[in-house]
Amino acid sequence: MEGSGNFSPSCASYYRNSRTLMGPVNSLSISDEELVIRLKNGEIGAGAVLYSRHKNVIYTFCLRMLTDEDAAKDASQETFLKMITKIHSIEKGIACKSWLFSVARNEVLMVIRRKNTILMEQFDDETIVFDHSTPLSISIQMETKEKIEKAIQQLKPAYREAYLLREIEGMTYNEIAQLTSTTVSAVKTKIYKSRVALNEMLKPFF
């Protein structure tokens, strides 16, 4: 990867090693904004704290969007590597978490684009909310969480994305609209349709 010759092959091991550079600071007391400033000033250990703080939510988002563990790991790793190489693109006032989601979303879209152009077209398709061609096969013995996860995976990518960002990550409609380069009205519509579709898919189980 260009510009990242000092990185370990493993993003996780790189950040673990970098934490020793942070110095005697209680990382829990430092805001993301302060950590970004430190990272911009060359304090790589600050990046290790940000990685530790956000790695799980970014990986989970990638996994839920791609439904493939290896692809999700690659996408999340690229996200945090870009946090180092493009840290100066985070403007003052922009939340680091939102910026990370934006980068992760781009990585997810690149994976989808490489794998299947049809899925990319579905991001713009307002007529189909979930995939009728793939039956939702969930065992009666499954836990409620597993049933819901299966149902979420059946949502078309654009709807799954909007639903996850709102219901799982707790982003506001404005934040989602900014992240996905769309309008608040479009975001609300996608989330509403996602809820209706999930209710329809989960109706037999509840």
Give the model confidence (pLDDT) of 128-169 as tens digits. Answer: 566 554 544 434 444 567 778 888 888 998 999 999 999 888
Q: Is the dihedral of CA 118, 121, 123, 125 positive or negative?
A: negative
Give the span between the Cα atoms of 163 and 194, in whole angstroms: 7
Looking up tokens 């911009």, which residue turns up? 40
Could you give the 3-state DSSP secondary structure of residue 133? coil
Mean residue pLDDT across the chain = 79
Give the span between the Cα atoms of 101 and 62, in whole angstroms: 9
The residue extents of the domains of the chain are: 1-115, 117-206
Q: What is the pLDDT of residues 96-117, one digit of tens each?
A: 999 999 999 999 988 888 776 5
Q: Class of the 117-206 domain?
A: mainly alpha
CATH of domain 1-115: 1.10.1740.10
Could you give the 3-state DSSP secondary structure of residue 67? coil
Nearest to 131 by CA among 142, 140, 118: 118
Looking up tokens 């600071």, which residue turns up? 25
